[in-house]
Amino acid sequence: MSKQHFTTKHANADTVQRNWYIVDGTNLTVGRVCAKIAAVLRGKNKAYYTPHVDCGDYVIFINADKIKLTGNKMEDKIYDTYSGYPGGRKEETAQNLIKRRPEVLIERAVKGMLPKNRLGRKMYKKLFVYAGAEHPHTAQQPKEFKY
């Protein structure tokens, strides 16, 4: 009786099939939805997920200005930026950041959940965040993202 050898199929750039998903951020909690988006950008929702290959899908996030934070995070959560110069540190609360640039809140949350290497930077480029309900990706026919 001979033994059969089964090999695991690894995804590569040629075999990956990419889909487009759209997420409406109205009344969604930032951390919960961003964790799901990060998993889709990595490709963890696919059966052929391979850690060293970018097998994720494209994600369009609309209505970023209608996102919500739990607890007192709107007033208490601080976002820092640093220019690199002495005295170049700026602080901003989440409430002010949502008023000024709501896309940044989502982008920073998702980016922090992706790998910190070349592959993570490539995955991050597949995320498109818009403050309102309008987006220029209708030609890609994005599907509604199911949580």
Alpha carbon distances (Å) from 26 to 67, 77, 100, 140: 6, 20, 17, 22
Q: Provide the 3-class DSSP secondary structure of residue 112.
A: helix
For domain 20-69+107-144, the CATH architecture is Alpha-Beta Complex (3.90)
pLDDT in tens, 103-131: 999 999 999 999 999 999 999 999 999 99
Domain ranges of the chain: 20-69+107-144
pTM, rounded to two decimals: 0.91
pLDDT in tens, 6-36: 787 888 989 999 999 999 999 999 999 999 9
Q: What are the two backbone dihedrals, phi and then psi, of residue 66, each rounded to the nearest 5 degrees?
A: -105, 10
